[in-house]
Amino acid sequence: MSFSWKKVFSKKNKQTEISPDSVPKHIAIIMDGNGRWAAQRGLPRTAGHHAGMVALRRTIRAADEFGIKVLTVYAFSTENWKRPVAEVDFLMRLPSEFLRTDLPELIAKNVKVIMSGSRTGLPRHTIKAVDEAISKTANNTGMILNFALNYGSRAEIVKAVREISQAVAAGSLQVNEINEKIVADHLYTAGLPDPDLLIRPSGEIRLSNFLLWQLAYAELCFVEVYWPDFKREHLLAAIEAFSQRDRRFGTIKL
């Protein structure tokens, strides 16, 4: 889908033009605040998670419309296993429900689905749904939709260290050959560009063990709405704010 950025952002009757060159290629989102959204309305937490799924649908459509190349969403963390069993069971069924209803649209829009995270411990029905989406979109060439599922950044880095150590022990890698690219190649996100922009709704200001290596030079945007209330205009405002950041990556501009 083509999209014109000319005078696309409007705030207090002022319009801002955004150049396509300043749009982030990779956006990562911590989908936070579902439970609090539900509590404010006297609803069960599961209702908040379901509303969060609707927000995800809106966000995928908007990101694709805006020309984002990669969208990574924090769907379930390694710490989320500590939640009540009934809530975890509900969360594990959401991928099946989401992909059952939305996969045809993702296919039609040329979106490619991938997953970052450990498959260990995931229910069979969850893995089946994700694998079906990955398989049916494998040849798509549009936006990449990356589900961070059963994901924890520290566990990811430990995994990378173990794999690299095994390669050194086997003699296929020398210690002095280990560099940042080698480490990145052993992360779940191998092959993806690092995120340019991290968005976290709900008002919390922390990373919560999400993409700690990959976010080294990302711009951070914290939004004062719960995830179920996150809309197209919030994504657009974050992109507009990103376009005005001066990204120097440790250097200076002469």
Active site residues: 32, 80
3-state secondary structure 192-241: CCCCCEEEEECCCCCCCCCCCCCCCCCEEEEECCCHHHCCHHHHHHHHHH
Which of 178, 155, 108 lies closest to 136, judged by CA?
108
Amino acid identity, position 243: S
Non-local CB neighbours of 98 within 8 Å, separated by 6+ positions: 53, 56, 57
Non-local CB neighbours of 51 within 8 Å, separated by 6+ positions: 34, 37, 38, 228
| Other CB atoms within 10 A of residue 65 CB | 16
Concatenate the DSSP letters of all residues of 71-100 into one string.
EEEEEEEGGGGGS-HHHHHHHHHHHHHHHH
Longest Cα–Cα distance of the chain, Å, equals 64
Given a contact cutoff of 8 angstroms between Cβ atoms, the answer to whether 248 and 217 are in contact is no
3-state secondary structure of 135: helix
Strands 9-11 and 14-16: antiparallel
